[in-house]
């Protein structure tokens, strides 16, 4: 019987996540992973029973990494708009900053697994719903605190924010565009401006700014464009 | 020597495109395609020299289909904003309407091929750049005709529009959401509203409408939401 130690398990997941981010779910097979980790396929079987089991294990591990890299620093910010802004700042381009050589495995899986059914798709679906649920919660907090208007269509806001993330991913990773961060920032500022209460928009006389005066640490779109 | 007839070639591309839309580029191998078409791998070699050659052939064929399904009907609309609106209307969800059982192969390839180099990535890059070039051209026409403001950041507009397309693709195909069309329509209307000349926004007193009075055949966001 093989000895299953936590460190070996962790090493497999770590290598598997790097592999997943580069080649997508189709490339994460027991054989490919065994090669990458430098162990036999039968050795891997002590840890995972099937290809689907490996893929789900790696996706779950990815969720833990994303919580550390994206969510944990964001919850340091004040509730409402500052926290939402911090989350978006840490979300855009999180994968390379987390040491993943490829892009975000969930973003890729949204396009890779649209035509299949089974436990791996269910896992990605659960993770995507949990993520959109967190975004929804932060937007609702911003409404409660008066940072956003009370009649805001929260689901629409989250839907468009996910579009900004996907466009940023495609621009930065596939097109290898150098202005992806600035473009995403401008798009996000416009989305925030539409979400503001009318009095804020009127008082500030600038529909493209939605930062509360004392909290904002992000550059404004015009500044961002000048720097890129 | 095998006889290469145009109809066989067309049939291979047609079946190959259906396969590509379902399984992505990683799944389009000579063996998989031979199975799908019902011919031997050596028979396929009369048409394509390699896996990459097949993939590029199918992508090129996809471009022809997209021009017929998306671009040809759009250019029937008047120049400027009406043509851009028609193009977006035919673009969103074009793949299933074109008879492709899976989603848009280029959208999927933006996430699948971000970490690889080679002729297939170059083909997708060329197609994506051509597509964004067409969008850019239509937005510039809308500026020239006074439908959009002269200081509009055209590249930013196209960048955000591509985000709406990707979010719609993920919502409709992966999340299997029934409100993807309505969400995309609302997002597009908001993007159009930001692109309008100030006098149009002021005169109409409705920042969410960007349709010229006599041309618009699209429903407004509130109507769309009521119907979905």
Residue ranges of domains in chain A, CATH in brackets: 51-227 (1.10.357.10)
Spatial neighbors of A197 by CB under 8 A, at least 6 apart, are A146, A148, A149, A150
| B160–A187 C-beta distance less than 8 A | yes
How confident is the model over B146-198, as pLDDT tens digits?
999 999 999 999 999 999 999 999 999 999 999 999 999 999 999 999 999 98
How confident is the model over B16-39, as pLDDT tens digits?
999 999 889 988 989 999 999 999
Helix axes of A51-66 and A119-144: crossing angle, nearest 10 degrees: 20
Residues of B in contact with A125 (CB under 8 A): 174-175
Residue A18, both tokens: 């790097």
Shortest distance, CA B129 to any CA of chain A (angstroms): 9
| B210: pLDDT strictly greater than 80 | no
Spatial neighbors of A16 by CB under 8 A, at least 6 apart, are A28, A33, A36, A37, A54, A57, A58, A61
| A22–B26 C-beta distance less than 8 A | no
Interface residue of B116, B166, B190 to substitute, partner A, most A CBs within 10 Å: B166
Helices (H), strands (E): how many in chain A? Answer: 13, 0
Shortest distance, CA B1 to any CA of chain A (angstroms): 36
| A190–B111 C-beta distance less than 8 A | no
- Tokens 């119907």 sit at which residue? B227
Question: In Å, how far from its chain's centre is CA A168?
Answer: 11
Shortest distance, CA A204 to any CA of chain B (angstroms): 18
Return the number of other C-beta atoms located less than 10 Å from residue A224's C-beta: 18
How confident is the model over B129-142, as pLDDT tens digits?
999 999 999 999 99
Q: How many CB pairs under 8 A join A and B?
A: 131
| B194–A22 C-beta distance less than 8 A | no
Residues of B in contact with A159 (CB under 8 A): 167, 171, 183, 187
* Confidence label for A129 from pLDDT (cuts 50, 70 and 90): very high
* Confidence label for A7 from pLDDT (cuts 50, 70 and 90): confident
How confident is the model over A170-207, as pLDDT tens digits?
999 999 999 999 999 999 999 999 999 987 655 544 44
Where is average pLDDT lowest: A13-17, A44-48, A221-225, B164-168?
Answer: A221-225
Question: If DSSP codes are grouped into helix, strand and coil, which group holds residue A216?
Answer: coil
Closest alpha carbon to B98 in B125, B124, B61, B127: B61
Interface residue of A17, A28, A108, A159 to substitute, partner B, most B CBs within 10 Å: A159
| A111–B169 C-beta distance less than 8 A | yes
Percent of chain A with pLDDT over 70: 85
Distance CA A21, CA A38 (A): 19
Instruction: Read off the pTM.
Output: 0.86
| A194–B170 C-beta distance less than 8 A | no
Minimum CA–CA partner of B108 in chain A? A111
Work out the burial of residue A125: count CB atoms within 10 Å of its CB; fewer than 13 is exposed, 13-18 middle, 19 or more buried.
middle
Rg (Cα) of chain A, in Å, rounded? 20
How confident is the model over A46-68, as pLDDT tens digits?
889 899 999 999 999 999 999 99
SS (H, E, C) B109-161: HHHHCCCCCCHHHHHHHHHHHHHHHHHHHHHHHHHHCCCCCCCCCHHHHHHHH
How confident is the model over B71-88, as pLDDT tens digits?
999 999 999 999 999 999
Residue B150, both tokens: 């002269």
Interface residue of A18, A32, A111 to substitute, partner B, most B CBs within 10 Å: A111
């Amino acid at each position: 019987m093989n000895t299953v130690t936590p460190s070996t398990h962790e090493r497999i997941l770590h290598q598997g996540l790097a592999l997943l981010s580069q080649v997508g779910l189709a490339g994460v097979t027991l054989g490919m992973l065994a090669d990458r980790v430098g162990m036999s396929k039968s050795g891997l079987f002590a840890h995972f029973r099937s290809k689907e089991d490996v893929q789900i294990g790696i996706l779950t591990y990815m969720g833990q990494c994303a919580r550390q890299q994206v969510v944990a620093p964001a919850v340091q910010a004040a509730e409402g708009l500052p926290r939402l802004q911090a989350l978006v700042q840490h979300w855009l381009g999180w994968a390379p900053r987390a040491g993943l050589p490829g892009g975000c495995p969930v973003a890729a899986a949204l396009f890779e697994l649209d035509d299949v059914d089974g436990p791996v798709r269910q896992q990605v679906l659960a993770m995507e719903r949990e993520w959109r649920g967190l975004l929804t919660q932060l937007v609702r907090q911003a409404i409660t605190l008066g940072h956003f208007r009370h009649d805001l269509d929260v689901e629409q806001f989250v839907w468009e924010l996910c579009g900004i993330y996907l466009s940023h991913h495609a621009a930065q990773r596939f097109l290898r565009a150098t202005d992806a961060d600035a473009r995403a920032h401008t798009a996000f500022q416009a989305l925030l401006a539409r979400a503001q209460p009318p009095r804020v928009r009127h008082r500030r006389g600038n529909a493209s700014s939605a930062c509360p005066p004392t909290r904002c640490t992000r550059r404004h779109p015009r500044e961002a464009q000048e720097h890129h």
